[in-house]
Amino acid sequence: MAQLSLDFTDVVILSTVGLLSAAYYFFFKKDSRVVVSPATSPAANATKKEITKSSAGKKSLVEKLRSQNNENQLVFFYGSQTGTAEDLATRLGTECTKKYSLPVLVCDPEEYDMMELVEWIENEGTESTLFGFFMATYGEGEPTDNTVDFYEWIMAGSGKGDDEGEEEIDDDELLESGSLRGLPYVAFGLGNKTYEHYNAIGKRLDQRLAKLGGVRVGELGLGDDDDSMEEDFLAWKTAVLVDIAKHFGLQVTASGAQRDAPHVPLFDLVNVAEDNALERIYYGEHSNKTPRRWQMLKNGTLDQEDDPKYVETEKTTYDSKHPHYGRILKSRPLFVDVHDEYGFDSNLLLPKAGHKRYQVSDCKVRIERHCLHVDLDLGDSGLKYVTGDHVGVWPVNDEEHVQRLAQALNISHGVLDSVVQLNPNKKNMSAANAKMPFPAPCTVRTALVNYLDVSSTIKQHQLEILAKYADDPAERTALFELSENRERYVTLIEKSRKDLADILEAFPSIAVPIVVVIGELLPRIAVRYYSISSSSVEEPTKVGITAVMVRYAIPSCHPAHRADDKKNDSVVIREGLATSWLQRLHEQRTESASRTNGAAAAPFSQEDEALPIPRFHLPMYIRTSNFKLPKNPRLPVVMVGPGTGVAPFRAFVRERFHLAKTRPEMQVGPTWLFYGCRHPDKDFLYRDEFEQMEKEVADGSVKLDLRILKAYSRVEGQKKQYVQHMVQQHAEDVWNMIGKQKGSFYVCGDAKHMAHDVHETLTALALDHGNLGTEERAKTWVKDLKSQSRYLEDVWA
């Protein structure tokens, strides 16, 4: 046993440590219930003062509910990444108000102190309030951004829990079993069966609430976006409306459209004098506080296209509700002269020929495909990302589409350019707690271009609203039938993705007020997410986006409303909102156009001290992801990403190549990418970059085992090959890197087909080369890879 000896210095150090430990315990540990993050909640019997301390900056849920002063109250919380969960919560709330005169509060859990649920149950009871949870599952079984704090608190640090409910979730000592005893709630989960963790958040939350003493009213609703989220919601809604009525002791009323009841707008439209409100007007910017302004840097450095640099007049912190506006540094096409061809029946009316995006001949439509790489500047925003993260951007509508809608609404340029404000309509019971659909005051044009999605498919319940504004009896009846007959709606509206302008053109007698259009019929433009295709190590101040243009042709049925209507069904061209916007921006930059990036005309010049959104600046924020390279760069990585699934792997490969080139002492491990496209000379993304890296590896300039293994599916005279085939061909090498050398396996792209096939290939590979004996053991091995975060997917449906 070694002898212990202390000199004077040791005594001083130990004494200092002891004093600091005592001070820490006295000042910090003395009241461990007062915390900063809701990830560790206050005890069930914590005081209101303690709860407020633990949720600094959050609104008080208890105070909000008490201020409502209602005999009965519905409180719906939504976890939404793209707005769907919020929309469903709002729709159910609106129907409860219409049918049962129940006031509804629809809340973003990120804004409220959700810990106060405990206090509310203890002090107010459970008879007069019913809570609702509409929870989407994001990514690989993760909560949406706006529910992270609430989820971590309610799950008491138990992480993912168990999706199937077979295992108990351990209680946190500060959130005891039964602390929400009697809490009545309804729950609807939003997910996609294509993903492994289908509706995980909704299921886990329901299980957890039951464990804490909650009592679910009705069945747990589960919506599947791979099939029909809307039909799943409608089926659940029909039953849960009855359950809600029974909970409050109310008489159950029949479902269906109320044809004779007039529509009461949710908002009133108020005109604002523009000359007295320049500083208060929004010109299309996204903000969580007040209008934002930019100024040009007088001596700013110009980029290759001589675009001036701008900075915001007020420094701020950026997040998903207050995005940074990143300047486009570069945009370039990744392939050209690529087309998709569609064939149709001869009885369909084809689009007019001569359009720059497509060609029409005989019964075929040939549409151009485009793919862009766009670099956005983070500048001095303070935003940082890690390779593998996602970037969210908010697109704007095509002004031609907005003008088409304005014509269908029969509104003038004067109305479009009038500055307006929305105020709750006191005649509508739902208005008091209604969320404003966009920042205001702004012009009607700004709302339609920048904030509201004019290309969204019209919902079935919205057709009931439109029917009440139809003057023609035949059109009115047809619209009501579409709002009530699901099969007819799917055939005539949903499958051909008809938007509001389409409906107004088909039913010209509709005279719907503009306040209903911008206040109720058009959803807010949702953020679009892209896997970042740049490396934070190589390019820390810029974010790369890889975007293929969404453009396709589909048959469109005419929703006939008269027996003598002879209009033919037709073929229509649809475009993705975000990708078509990115292409317009690219073309505007290329052509050095003077038009702004979607902002409405404003009384400012580019040289003013404070001006609205500068040209070619995109609203963006960084969303963290678990899709990360191993911390040890010496470990092998195997990547599978066909098409635009290569986006994060372009970043991975560039980062590993950069490290191998600039820091050879790191000895970066094998870096293999299985990439698939149609044809090597047409749609091979980043081909020039990959070939240059391969050349430097081949000539010995960079020491790295880099392989870009290609699969082509549309080369004339050759058999179709897909990425899973290439993985199988190199099965032994893949097993050596993943099974023996403890490397990581990554998949990005289509979840339903490609990712599933690659998963099956990896399982077969493990069985054949891993000496695992049985298929069951091979599946377990693959499952263990995922649990160790060595098999990661960044996939979409």
User: If we measure between CA atoms, which residue out of 226, 193, 138 comes closest to residue 623?
Assistant: 138
* Helix (H) / strand (E) containing 21: helix 8-24
What is the average per-residue pLDDT within 56-61?
Answer: 84
What is the average per-residue pLDDT within 750-764?
Answer: 95
User: If we measure between CA atoms, which residue out of 169, 74, 85 comes closest to residue 131?
Assistant: 74
Does the domain at 637-796 match CATH 1.10.3720.10? Answer given as: no
Which segments of the chain belong to CATH 1.20.990.10? 276-590
What is the spatial distance between Cα 595 and Cα 727, in angstroms, rounded to a whole number? 47
Tracing tokens 């105070």 back to the chain, one arrives at 63
What is the spatial distance between Cα 670 and Cα 679, in angstroms, rounded to a whole number? 26
**What average pLDDT does the chain have?**
86
Note the pLDDT of residue 306: 54
Band (pLDDT 50/70/90 cuts) for residue 310 is: confident
Band (pLDDT 50/70/90 cuts) for residue 738 is: very high
Note the pLDDT of residue 52: 37
Q: Are 778 and 770 in contact (CB under 8 A)?
A: yes
Note the pLDDT of residue 553: 94
For residue 253 the two structure tokens come to: 């009323």
Note the pLDDT of residue 304: 44
Note the pLDDT of residue 607: 58
Cis ω before 508 (30° cut-off from 0):
no
Note the pLDDT of residue 605: 61
User: Is the predicted pLDDT of residue 672 greater than 70, yes or no?
Assistant: yes
- DSSP-assigned letters across all residues of 455-505: TSPPPHHHHHHHHTTB-SHHHHHHHHHHHH-HHHHIIIIITTT--HHHHHH
CATH fit for domain 48-247, picks 3.40.190.10, 3.40.50.10470, 3.60.21.10, 3.40.50.360: 3.40.50.360
Rounded to 10°, the helix 61-68/116-124 angle is 40
- Helix (H/G/I), strand (E/B), else coil: 314: coil
Which segments of the chain belong to CATH 3.40.50.360? 48-247
361-412, pLDDT tens digit by residue? 889 999 999 999 999 999 999 999 999 999 999 999 999 999 999 999 999 9
Q: How far is CA 405 from the centre of its chain?
A: 26
What is the spatial distance between Cα 68 and Cα 427, in angstroms, rounded to a whole number? 17
Task: Among 195-204, 273-282, 316-325, name the one with the lowest average pLDDT.
Answer: 273-282
Beta strand pairing call for 390-393 and 528-531: antiparallel
Q: What is the DSSP letter of 103?
A: -
Residue type, 579: T
User: Is the predicted pLDDT of residue 515 greater than 80, yes or no?
Assistant: yes
What is the average per-residue pLDDT within 551-573?
Answer: 81
What is the spatial distance between Cα 234 and Cα 718, in angstroms, rounded to a whole number? 48
Band (pLDDT 50/70/90 cuts) for residue 797 is: confident
What is the average per-residue pLDDT within 154-175?
Answer: 54
What is the spatial distance between Cα 78 and Cα 62, in angstroms, rounded to a whole number? 18
For residue 301 the two structure tokens come to: 């450095």
Task: Among 94-103, 156-165, 283-292, 566-575, name the one with the lowest average pLDDT.
Answer: 156-165
**In sequence order, what are the beta bridge partners of 235?**
none
Note the pLDDT of residue 22: 42
* Helix (H) / strand (E) containing 674: strand 671-677
Note the pLDDT of residue 595: 42
216-244, pLDDT tens digit by residue? 999 999 999 988 999 999 999 999 999 99
Q: Are 71 and 128 in contact (CB under 8 A)?
A: yes
Beta strand pairing call for 706-712 and 671-677: parallel
What is the spatial distance between Cα 688 and Cα 696, in angstroms, rounded to a whole number? 13
Rounded to 10°, the helix 647-662/687-698 angle is 30
Who wins on pLDDT, 566 or 212?
A: 212
Q: Are 368 and 414 in contact (CB under 8 A)?
A: no
Note the pLDDT of residue 51: 35
**In sequence order, what are the beta bridge partners of 793?**
747
295-304, pLDDT tens digit by residue? 887 655 444 4
What is the spatial distance between Cα 172 and Cα 158, in angstroms, rounded to a whole number? 8
User: If we measure between CA atoms, which residue out of 560, 470, 459, 465 comes closest to residue 506?
Assistant: 560
Band (pLDDT 50/70/90 cuts) for residue 562 is: low
Note the pLDDT of residue 284: 96
Beta strand pairing call for 267-271 and 294-296: unpaired
Report the greatest alpha carbon distance in the chain: 105
Does the domain at 276-590 match CATH 1.20.990.10? Answer given as: yes
User: Is the predicted pLDDT of residue 729 greater than 90, yes or no?
Assistant: yes
What is the spatial distance between Cα 744 and Cα 790, in angstroms, rounded to a whole number? 4
Which pTM value belongs to this model?
0.87
Burial 645-667 (b: 16+ CB within 10 A, else e): bbbbbbbbbbbbbbbbbeeeeee
Identify the top-confidence range among 301-305, 340-344, 687-691: 687-691
Burial 183-204 (b: 16+ CB within 10 A, else e): bbbbbbbbbbebbbbbbbbbbb
- Helix (H/G/I), strand (E/B), else coil: 747: strand
What is the spatial distance between Cα 724 and Cα 747, in angstroms, rounded to a whole number? 11
Which segments of the chain belong to CATH 3.40.50.80? 637-796
Alpha helices in 495-593 (DSSP H): 500-506, 514-516, 577-590
Percent above pLDDT 90 for the chain: 70
Beta strand pairing call for 142-143 and 184-191: unpaired
